[in-house]
Structure 1
Amino acid sequence: MTNVSYPVKGQCQCGSVNFILKAAPKAIIACHCKECQKLSTSAFSITCVVDAKDIDVQGELKQTSRIADSGNENVGYFCSGCGNRIYQLNPAAPELIKFKAAESLDDTQMIVPAMHVWTSEKQDWVVIPDGVQQFEKQR
């Protein structure tokens, strides 16, 4: 458990987009799918699932859209200046935000994944801690 005091502020890499997380995330997930590896240019990406009412985002955002393997539309919002992904959502469920810029918060103590998904595509060298939920595909 962490001692995070909400709200927590943050910003993208260039500072053009600012965000305020007003409450603890509902879930923190590490995704190991190939798309997230490309997105993060790392072995996985971290997603904080938050209620839309619990996050404020200020700044100019661009958006992309793609259809996920599930058939759901995935709309991504990123900084128009530096290109940092800020969040994504499924337009059919806009009340849930998949906050991708959590590592850019001023206080990141809460960023401890409780679940790892798409472990079937994870890099071989990644070791998932004992006791953490794992799913070979999307949960």
Structure 2
Amino acid sequence: MSEAKYPITGSCQCGNIKYELLEPPLFFAACHCKECQKLSTSAFSITAMVKTDSVKFQGKMKSWSRVADSGNTSGAMFCPTCGNRIYHFDPSEPDTLKLKPSNLSDTSIINPTIHIWVSEKQNWYQIPSGVKVFNRQP
């Protein structure tokens, strides 16, 4: 992992949504739940938990939400043109966002230290040693 210089820019695939991450994320997590597998079309989805005021967005996004297993609302903001997810949020936790960091211009900062919903993990994926592991949502 390189020493990142902030702010780091990010954008959706088509470039209609742009943003700046002003400071390091609180942490990176890999979620192995079936919903995140659908989202990422892969074995897991990566999230950077950030303070809401540490990221500045440009462009008009659309929203979508669902009720999570916890009973909480899981909201998502995405580009209406290319469909790229930009971040997720829980309306009951307005001080944090779950940024989708693969949209960053410098992805070398991504290093998940937490793996959640490993009860739904793909059998072929091996979780690295030294990370926190949770069978479900912590």
Using structure 2 for the length normalisation, give the TM-score: 0.97
State the Cα deviation string for residues 21-63 of structure 1 (Å, max 9, x = none).
Answer: 0000001000000000001111100000000000011111110
Query: In the alignment, does 2:17 pair up with 1:17?
Result: yes
Whether 2:87 is the aligned partner of 1:72: answer no
Percentage identity across paired residues of the two chains = 50
For the 8 Å contact 2:63–2:76, the answer to whether it is kept is yes
Q: CA deviation at 1:94?
A: 1.2
Amino acid at match of 1:95: D
Say yes or no: does 1:28 pair with 2:28: yes
Q: 1:89 maps to what in 2?
A: 89
1:65 and 1:117 map into 2 onto residues whose CA distance is 20
Q: Distance in 1 between matches of 2:90 and 2:130?
A: 29
Residue 104 of structure 1 aligns with an amino acid whose one-letter code is N
For residues 66 and 94 of structure 1, what CA distance do their matches in structure 2 show?
17
Q: Determine helix, strand or coil for the equivalent of 1:109.
A: helix
Paired residues in the alignment total 138
Whole-Å separation in 2 of the counterparts to 1:10 and 1:85: 12
Superimposed CA distance per residue, residues 63-113 of structure 1 (whole angstroms, 9 cap, x where no aligned partner):
01111000111111000110000001111111100001x112111111000
Q: Work out the CA distance in 1 between the residues paired with 2:60 and 2:40.
A: 21
Q: 2 CA distance for matches of 1:111 and 1:54? A: 17
Give 4+ residue runs of structure 1 displaced > 2 Å after superposition.
Answer: none
Residue matched to 2:4: 4
RMSD, aligned CA? 0.9
How far did residue 123 of structure 1 move? 0.5
Deviation at 1:2, TM superposition (A): 3.4
Unaligned regions of 5+ residues in structure 2, if any? none
- The alignment's TM-score, normalised by the length of structure 1, stands at 0.96
